[in-house]
Structure 1
Amino acid sequence: QWCLPFHVTRLCRKAMRGLSCRLLAVHHNAPDCNARLEGLRMRMARAGNPVNRAFLRLLLKGCAMATGASLRYVYAHSDRYILLSDSFHRAFRNITGLKNTGKLLTIPNPVTVENREFRYDPAFKKKELLFVGRLEPNQKRVSRVLETWALLEPRFPDWTLRLVGDGPEKEALQAFCAERRLERVSFEGFRNPAPYYEQASLLLLASEYEGLPLAVVEGMSFGAVPLLYGSFSSAYDLVDHGQNGCILPASGGFQARQMADMAAGLMQSPAALDAMARAAAAKSRKFTREHVVRQWEEVFRNNTPTP
């Protein structure tokens, strides 16, 4: 379950000596991005000195090569290497340089927040936008959610934004709200998200990279319509744009105005929002625990030799 650093796989292999075990490596994020790589990209974007930028560019290249080497080791010493989305297979081949990747499999994350009937009940819904996740700047980029909300709050005085989660960026985000005089933002802290999913109408996610974010499929199971920044290819596994949610393409970089316009279109159209909510709940059934567990059981039962 932690297959990016090679030393974990090395330790597992030592522990397996003399045992008839199989080792399954599971990559829980996009294979070509991680906190270290993204941190270097962020430093490059802030660097004003051309010499510093050049140095950081070399550092980034070296870090990417080290990441690829580590992933190659894990792949070579695992019986199966499991990704969260078929769309990540190409990224894995690109960063590792591997051409024969017959050991790759795809098994998505399941819905783990309890909503067994996948019930969408419009009676519970409120005029609320929701973010669920860590409050940190490297991956989740919650500041983008607030930038979007800053454009929406003056236009929709009866709507609110709730942030469920905690993390090191909380104080900076609260300072942003104070500076922009945003009055209808609620920092809920670390909570069971189920009641928030049940009453939220829209779920916002503007991460710089993701694997297969649980908050999205969990929210969809309650009929919270997702608005995603399409920075990660698996977003298109979750959302059929315009049917069960909306995706802001990443080609032009994050644009808060475009994200706000997508949200406003649904906030102004209860009928369209209701139709998307029903479609979102239906789509989330693809990620039930039962469905995903069957895929895992098939892997465990499969004793064919490693390709």
Structure 2
Amino acid sequence: MLSDLGYDISVVSVLSGVDYHFSGNHLDLGEMKNDDASFFGKTKRMSAFKNFIDENKFDFIIDCRPKNVSLREVFIYRHIYKNRKVINVVHSHHLQTYFISPKWLSKVLFKNCFRIVGVSQAISAKIETVYGFKNVTTIYNSVKLNTSKNSEIPLDFPYLLYFGRIEDSIKNLSLLLASYKQSSLNEKGFHLVLLGDGPDKEKLKNFTKQLKLQNFIHFLDFTLNPEPIVSRAKCTVLTSHYEGLPMVLIESLSLGTPVISVEYNSGVKEIVKNGHNGLIVPNYSSNELANAFNRFFEDEALYLRCKENAKSSVAKFEMYNVSKQWNSLLQNS
């Protein structure tokens, strides 16, 4: 996105590999860790990181990493990022993932960041409330559609969709399966598809068998291009315990697919307008979610209205609009 605006971009990845296009230099700390995960290997990675920052003389450092190890962050911010303009990006309403303990240490360490960027207004407001920072702003994550013409999908039935990581402790997919069971959708021929990989796939497959719904609940493997499956879904469903700015909702709506989401104290209401482009229901209630499923497919006028409004409702998340915000932030430094 920023390279399209003429910025020279370099990437430091803490996990091995980068699965998106970028231009510029790349330091793969994840690959270095795979080669040597010892304490000595850690010191080599930190040294390589510091040399990379020093040699490139960046105007800005945009740091999107989780930051939950206090000693590591003190070293990085005091010795590697020292005297540089750092933009700390916070992707989750679960602030413990992005700010170290104790709280006073986070206040000291991050107060001099050039900016702290929350990816939703709710996240930014929580940061200001909890830490009292005055250098907080909101810039949404952007969505860019894959223009692939390949639209073949292995599904020949109407379906609801979840796509993302199959990790029940975060995504609460047990609630999704139980709610589908309580609804009348399978009786009406609507299936449920879960698209993605993760540690709990087998556990949830077993739960599906316990529910006796293995003919109606389907698990598909992760794909780099989920758009054909998303665009043909009747709706996308999200049931997580917590989120930051749920990109699956934005991506789904941008493809014209309405959504049903449980309520969070984060960015859901900045994406979903209840009854306009989807439905929002209280979290942790299989009855409420099952009723929402039934309502969405029994009330044709409601469903068609949400589908018609889907694409236009997420215009503010388009890459062009988000890139203008980033450009303004960097240019007005």
Q: Is the 8 A contact 1:2 1:8 kept in 2?
A: no
Question: Which is bigger in relative contact order (C-alpha 8 A, separation at least 6)?
Answer: 1
Q: TM-score, normalised by structure 1?
A: 0.77
The residue aligned with 1:230 is 263
Partner of 2:101: 66
Residue of 85, 89, 93 corresponding to 1:26 = 89
Aligned partner (choices 290, 303, 306) of residue 276 of structure 1: 306
3-state SS of paired residue (2:274): coil
1:38 alignment counterpart: none
Structure 1 residue 70, shift from structure 2 partner: 5.4
Whether 2:173 is the aligned partner of 1:147: answer no
Instruction: Please say if 1:249 is aligned against 2:314.
Output: no
| Residue of structure 1 in register with 2:231 after alignment | 198
Summarize deviations over 1:222-253 as a string: whole Å, max 9, x none.
Answer: 12111111023211000111111111134xxx
Q: CA deviation at 1:72?
A: 2.3
User: In the TM superposition, what are the counterparts of 1:49-128 in structure 2 within 5 Å?
Assistant: 66=101, 68-69=103-104, 71-96=106-131, 98=132, 101-114=133-146, 127-128=158-159
**Count of aligned pairs between the two proteins:** 260
**Per-residue deviation, residues 36-61 of structure 1 (Å, max 9, x unmatched):** xxxxxxxxxxxxxxxxxxxxxxxxxx
- 1:121-156 CA-to-partner distances (Å, cap 9, x unmatched) read xxxx96210001111122211111111111235653
Alpha-carbon separation, structure 2, partners of 1:126 and 1:287: 31
Query: Could you tell which deviates more after superposition, 289-298 or 85-94?
Result: 85-94
Secondary structure at the residue paired with 2:192? strand
Secondary structure of 1:78's aligned partner: coil
Percent identity over paired residues: 23
Match of 2:331 in 1: 301
Residue in structure 1 matched with residue 79 of structure 2 by the alignment:
14
> 2:67 — aligned with what?
4
Following superposition, the deviation at residue 213 of structure 1 comes to: 1.1
**Are the counterparts in 2 of residues 9 and 77 from structure 1 also a CA contact under 8 Å?**
no
Structure 1 residue 115: Cα displacement: 6.0
Distance change >3 Å, CA 289–CA 146, structure 1 → 2: same
- Which residue of structure 2 lines up, in the alignment, with residue 59 of structure 1? none
Instruction: Tell me: CA distance 1:238–1:181, structure 2 relative to 1, closer, same or farther (3 Å).
Output: same
- Three-state SS of the structure 2 residue aligned to 1:156 is helix
Alpha-carbon distance change, 140 to 68 in structure 1, aligned in 2, over 3 angstroms: farther
Q: 2:181, 2:322 → 1: CA distance? A: 38
Q: Does 1:189 align with 2:221?
A: yes
Secondary structure, in 3 states, of the residue corresponding to 1:139? Answer: helix
* Contact 1:126 1:201 (C-alpha < 8 Å) held by counterparts: no
Q: After superposition, what is the alpha-carbon deviation per residue over 1:37-95, rounded to whole angstroms, capped at 9, x for unaligned?
A: xxxxxxxxxxxxxxxxxxxxxxxxxxx98263454244224110000112223322343
Give unmatched runs, 5+ long, in structure 1.
Answer: 36-63, 117-124
1:142-177 CA-to-partner distances (Å, cap 9, x unmatched) read 111111111235653311111011111111100100
SS in 1 for 2:93: coil
Matching residue's letter, 1:113: L
CA contact (8 A) 1:33 1:209 kept: no
* Local SS of the residue matching 2:326: helix
Task: Tell me, in whole angstroms, the C-alpha distance in 1 between the residues paired with 2:174 and 2:104.
Answer: 33
Superposition RMSD on alpha carbons, in Å?
A: 2.6
Is contact 2:128–2:136 with CA below 8 Å preserved after alignment? no
AA partner of residue 81 (structure 1): I
Which one-letter code corresponds to 1:219 in the other structure? S
Q: Which amino acid in 1 is paired with 2:314?
A: S
Q: Secondary structure at the match of 1:300?
A: helix
Q: Tell me the equivalent position of 1:220.
A: 253
Q: Secondary structure at the match of 1:181?
A: coil
Q: Give me the TM-score of the superposition, normalised by structure 2.
A: 0.71
Q: How far apart are the structure 2 equivalents of 1:104 and 1:163?
A: 36
Query: Against the structure 1 CA distance between its residues 186 and 69, is the aligned structure 2 distance closer, same or farther, given a 3 Å change threshold?
Result: farther
The amino acid that maps onto 1:149 is Y
Residue 190 of structure 1: CA displacement?
0.6
Q: How far off is 1:3 after superposition?
A: 5.2
Cα deviation, residue 207, structure 1: 0.5
- For 2:37, the equivalent position in structure 1 comes to none
